[in-house]
Amino acid sequence: MSKIAIYPGTFDPITNGHLDLLARAEQIFDQVVIAISDNPRKKPLFATEERIQLLEEAVADRPHVTVDCFNDLLVNYMARKGLRFVIRGLRAVSDFEYEFQLASANRRLDSNVETIFLTPLETNYFVSSSLVREISYYQGDVSSFVPKHVERALALKWASMGRETAEPAE
């Protein structure tokens, strides 16, 4: 029986920190499903379809990783898919309380759900999607935080919204 984990999140956009955690999860599990939360209350910069495309391109060379999306409770999605294990990242102590609360709520809703906490490399501790969006909005260099195709997508997204940005170097 293969061990499959779900790595849920908004991934708006995917960062090198996400990819770092994914690589760690791949060492533990036979398969990892990256599940994009389609939660309009979060008001994402990228539409769900765009986030799916960005993620699929980021993991194209990883045969044991798939990308999916969901728009309900994580535990309901997991039950439909027959999944038990959730991967969550802890960047700093400040993440712990929130992530512990989520893990506890998920376990209360479905006692079969187990959350596995992983930490990124020290170089990625501070990287978050919201930080990347903020830096890119003000034309800062996000090349060390995201894959190249995501950097380009950010520049194009801001330009399409009327924000002039410098096109990233090739």
pLDDT, tens digit (0-9, with 9 covering 90-100), for 39-66: 878 889 999 999 999 999 999 999 999 9
> What pLDDT, on the 0 to 100 scale, is given for residue 41?
82
Encode burial over 46-82: b for 16+ CB neighbours within 10 A, e otherwise. bebeebbebbebbbeeeeebebebbeeebbebbeeee
Instruction: Name the helix (H) or strand (E) containing 37.
Output: strand 31-37
User: Residue ranges of the domains in the chain?
Assistant: 4-123
Which of these is catalytic: 129, 133, 136, 157?
129
Residues of the chain with pLDDT under 50: 165-166, 168-170
Asked if 48 contacts 96 with a C-beta cutoff of 8 angstroms, the reply is no
Which of these is catalytic: 62, 84, 91, 152?
91
Second CATH level (architecture) for the domain 4-123: 3-Layer(aba) Sandwich (3.40)
**pLDDT (tens digit, 9 = 90+) per residue, 60-75?**
999 999 999 999 999 9
Could you tell me the end-to-end alpha-carbon distance of the chain, in angstroms, rounded to an integer? 43
84 part of the active site: no
